[in-house]
Structure 1
């Protein structure tokens, strides 16, 4: 399921900023400064991209999508799936899982089940799947670092815009009536730099780290589940083993759902 915490959180922060500004008698329209916004947004993106390759743009776009509309991995759903495969393997043998691989959408899980079906040694399976996890962690780290860089550069680019604005002000001291608006416009760049860093880029970085942590944990859960199935573990024992990946409250929800389904089946 999609998680909308990031756009909701950013929206709440922006509303709080605008409302507080209005309460102090300010005009939110004063924040709309196209030149400052162009400098901060464009300049920040440019200097951040300078440390990457052009091929990395697709990775950056994917990271943004993951943060805004992330389909967060669900460990409890993975546990249910692994228990289902354990029941098939217990009744019909591990080879019976080959038919189940055709309907598996997750490439990681599909690869692991196929390796088990092919009779690959358990240590080799762990090595291959953990290699996949390490590769995924590296990709996630690179995506999150881009937004960390943007969060670091944005305030500095904003200060650059303010300095440019003040230079313009000092060059027009002969027009006292225009000094106020000119100085106000100059500091708008700093405001946009600090605002975008702390309301957009750094929260997105934090979200990417959180999503990555959940996905990595789910991947390790799948590895343990596949190896347990290959070793012939009972579905009940497998479930108890994999539940250790969940927090106590999450375990209680899974166990309650299982008991409820048993009652309905009876």
Structure 2
């Protein structure tokens, strides 16, 4: 796994714009090298701000969106279209504004989807979709960029401190009893996160400063899951000044 690099921006607006520009460059480079690109989205305030900044940027036209696979790192297990779902925010901020191939937008199942309220079956369905994307040659694709927000408690995706999902070998798990509502979620696990070429940890605001410090200090993942957010080739902690204030 790669060692983290830290890049600090003035505030959340500057951070969102810079990450959006970086994402355009990374996707364009992946397409130039391999023909296609795959990205993993995150929700939360800064994750959605990045997508909104990209949606408003003319540079988005430099991406061939028909050759982009879009995945999610986690999702709240709620009905389709619920305002709290990461997918809903991503569609409003960016996905409905660009010419994506609908078959390559891989939303995590909703609680009114084909598995109904069976979150374990829904997680297994998403794991099967990930495996199918690589023809069964591995559990998940080698994502080009995987973005993660971080909570004040140092969680990433829906991997919360002290919870069993931190020790999972499966690429996707159902999460029950999450300390942050809603309690039922679907999440990628560390084996899936570590398959990404690049992992970008996004953090804005003073409330995230302690979690960022733990994520860079070698703290164990049971206490600070963000400490396990690492990419195979590159790991970036993309912060505003407030989130970097304890470094």
TM-score by length of 2: 0.25
Whichever structure has more strand as a proportion of its residues is 2
Bigger Rg, structure 1 or 2: 1
TM-score by length of 1: 0.23
Whichever structure has more helix as a proportion of its residues is 1
Structure of higher RCO (CA pairs closer than 8 Å, 6+ residues apart): 1
